[in-house]
Structure 1
């Protein structure tokens, strides 16, 4: 078989495409009197990059709650009610392990405790990537 014959056998012709399109229209119940589909204009009308900055300004002022977690534990209500001043609650973390930094309850980073001007702070040691945060939501 020649190369010309092979290409004719493997590539559909324009006539075949037209016939398939007519068949699809007929099966869908349409014909020559079918109205053309109209679609909305999907162009960006926000005014370019300046419009995106304005949209970003809207969310930049939304307040969020940031918290640091040094550990967790599970105890019964009986043991919880027995806690008083001087009681020690054992957590699930070892001394020296990094703390979790949560924003609205979502883990975003790990860090270590520091003291700045007699106030506690946290130095971020590892920031969780957005891709990893999305994986944890699933």
Structure 2
């Protein structure tokens, strides 16, 4: 015995499974596309429903970590360094006869990488890449241009 008409919509739904599945997937994709946050392009004003991060104060920007390549005068000391080590960078400050005192340029800098020596002409010292605050990177660049730099392990 067969009972007719009890669930006509369910019968129709079962006959058109592929179409229902396609419609369901399309609706899900549309719902997900509307909820995924999109980052604002440079110069674009964020939409009102988006939460934009406030610009960092000047003090926070100077404390942001950057990577800085530094040439250390003693290549043998650089060979002892490994990524993750903490070092203090010291500027020699010129000739000792002139009375210039050594000074610490960056304290607690994290070693990011120790590149292999290049194949080109040998320069004095060896390169090391450090992660330091932005203001310390500027001091490192200035000190490296004016005289030799050394590292002290922490």
Q: Please indicate, yes or no, whether the TM-score normalized by the shorter chain is above 0.5.
A: no
TM-score using structure 2 length: 0.22
Larger RCO: 1 or 2 (CA < 8 Å, sep 6+)? 2
